[in-house]
Amino acid sequence: MCMVPCISTELILIFVVQVDYIVPVITEKYLNAICGRSTVSESSMLCTDTHYQYIKYIYDLMATYYIKNGCINDKIRCVIPDDLVHLTRRQVMARPLFQVWVRASEVEQLSQRMLGSRF
């Protein structure tokens, strides 16, 4: 049984395969969604809100890509809001998918590097 609507997951899969980069914005709620951790007030929302299910699904696709790509992260570039850089000290941020990240104030430079590497 599909946790999120199957047509939507098929489209997400197509887009994940076609794009050069995936750029998740790392926030407390994002990390909670992919780790399955939540506060009591968020727990029912995480189970029923398709937004969180999409986040988890895309994360799973990123992890699958990473493994199939020989554990080389050439596609995922994380952005962390400047005021949330302290989140990089969390255990989950040690995962290989999160090793390449920039502050939100550095997004312009990141986009220039990403464009330069593809053209």
**Per-residue pLDDT reduced to its tens digit, 27-37:** 999 999 998 76
The domain ranges of the chain are 6-118
The secondary structure of the chain, three-state, reads: CCCCCHHHHHHHHHHHHHCCCECCECCHHHHHHHHCCCCHHHHHHHHHCHHHHHHHHHHHHHHHHHHHCCCCCCCECEEECHHHHHHHHCHHHHCHHHCCEEEHHHHHHHHHHHHHHHC
pTM exceeding 0.75: yes
Give the tens place of pLDDT for each residue, 38-72.
554 444 544 557 778 889 999 999 999 999 999 99
Q: What is the predicted pLDDT for the residue at 1? A: 46
Q: What is the tens place of the pLDDT at every residue in 69-84?
A: 999 999 999 999 999 9
